[in-house]
A and B are shown apart, each in its own frame.
Chain A
Amino acid sequence: MSAPPPIGPRALMGRSARAPLLAGLAVLAVTWILLWAGQAAPELPDTAAAAETGSCVLPGPEMRVRHMDVLFEVRDEVVRDGRRNAEWALHGCIECHAVADAAGVPVGHDDPRHFCRSCHDQTAVAADCFSCHRATPETADGHTVAHHPAGRAHSGDAL
């Protein structure tokens, strides 16, 4: 091959660099287009009856729009400043919005019937609250039978 020029992009990269770079960009572009093509705004499903009976902290439609903004503010105030907020305590929401399975046991966040997942799955918005927050109401003896028949809290041995 002829001597490469001393300056300019050809000095930096050989011809061999252009093909993989262009191919990589093309793959990215196609993926992007496929992900977004034909995406209409999702119809949010009807949520659990509790949310619509009007006893929630905010009316249902307003809650859908604003709940995360409020929660982001509240969590910093509660945790960092110590400004307790009885209304927006997450475990209060969980106790009201619990969805029970056929046996009457509240389902956890791994179950698609979980109240938060009914919208969040549809909108594909990740909510990792329940990696730390309890996703079900606590029963009288302090534990949820569905998850741990032994009735003790312990770290999961996933995998």
Chain B
Amino acid sequence: MTDPRRTSDRPTSACPMAETDAPRPAGRSRRQALAAFAAGAAATMLAPGVVLITGAAPGAARPPGTPASPAQRWGLLIELGHCADGCARCVEACQTEHGWHAGDHGAHDPHWIRLVSATDDTHGRTLNLPLMCQHCAAPPCRDVCPTHATFRRADGIVLVDRHRCIGCRYCVMACPFSARFFTPGALTDQRPHMPRGQGTAEGCTLCVHRIDQGQIPACVEACAAAGGGAMRFGDLADPDDPIRAALAELPTARLRPDLGLGTAVHYGDL
């Protein structure tokens, strides 16, 4: 699978970046990728319960050069009953992973994921609800974006193409969940895998860079690592994915189902 644009015959293994980078697709051949996954899966199996809680990793990293597939629909299941009071691991993990933080600029700050404390008006029960972009099937943000900067990738993840964003904030106006944010000023200390810049819109990416490498979102991983087990990630379109089994068993609901947006985040015990 040689990149046709490469006219030089130097092997990529000579490229110094291969050693220093964060986990990357293990190699060009499927065999290598599968072997790496098998090793990883074996190690994972040794930690009892982790596979059940986090859901299986979405399989091998997608081979380089292959596009996202419409046969997949990534989604989350968040069991609010397991969401501990005072725990904010998902929020912190997202901040570390993507290089944003809240607390400096008040309402100018981004909140890619935030904890909403919800108290029922009739019976007074209180929940902690992690709220992020719902990755709708019919996203209002995509419909109002004048330049196609906000788009829905084939596998269901709603993203901002910052190369095209003109910073009009129409998506910030349009999102019914207030899950879109406008970068307040110039940024310099971005994470290398998460470019963010002044004058563009941003929001939860469902850790698309991790998903493409066969990993799970940072928030889900942090929740599992903390022993919370409230968050699961998986392929909603795959009938064999554990998240589907969990959705069939547990009572779940989605936010604002009346709007018919086809959101991908399912909340249990809502």
Contact = CB atoms under 8 A, between A and B. Distances in A.
A158 B99 CA distance: 19
Contacts of B65: 83-85
B17 A96 contact: yes
A84 B64 contact: yes
A85 B64 CA distance: 6
Contact of A85 (B3, B15, B96, B197): B3
A116 B259 CA distance: 47
Interface of A, secondary structure class, is loop
B191 A86 contact: no
Contacts of A58: 6-8
Interface stretch (B82-90, B148-156, B171-179, B223-231): B148-156
Contacts of B199: 131
A20 interface: no
B212 A84 contact: yes
Interface string B12-50: 101111001100110000000000000000000000000
A80 interface: yes
Contacts of B67: 77, 81-83
B187 A156 contact: yes
A143 B185 contact: no
A132 interface: yes
Interface stretch (B52-60, B100-108, B241-249, B262-270): B100-108
A153 B190 contact: yes
Interface of B: 3, 5-8, 10, 12, 14-17, 20-21, 24-25, 62, 64-68, 96, 99-101, 104-105, 151, 153-155, 159, 161-163, 183-193, 195-200, 208, 212-213
30 contacts: A55-B16, A57-B8, A59-B7, A79-B159, A79-B163, A80-B153, A81-B67, A82-B68, A83-B64, A83-B65, A91-B192, A92-B17, A94-B192, A95-B20, A131-B197, A132-B162, A133-B190, A134-B189, A134-B190, A134-B192, A137-B192, A142-B191, A144-B189, A147-B189, A148-B189, A153-B99, A153-B100, A153-B189, A153-B190, A155-B186
Interface of A: 54-55, 57-59, 62, 70, 75-77, 79-87, 90-92, 94-96, 108, 131-135, 137-138, 142-144, 147-148, 152-158
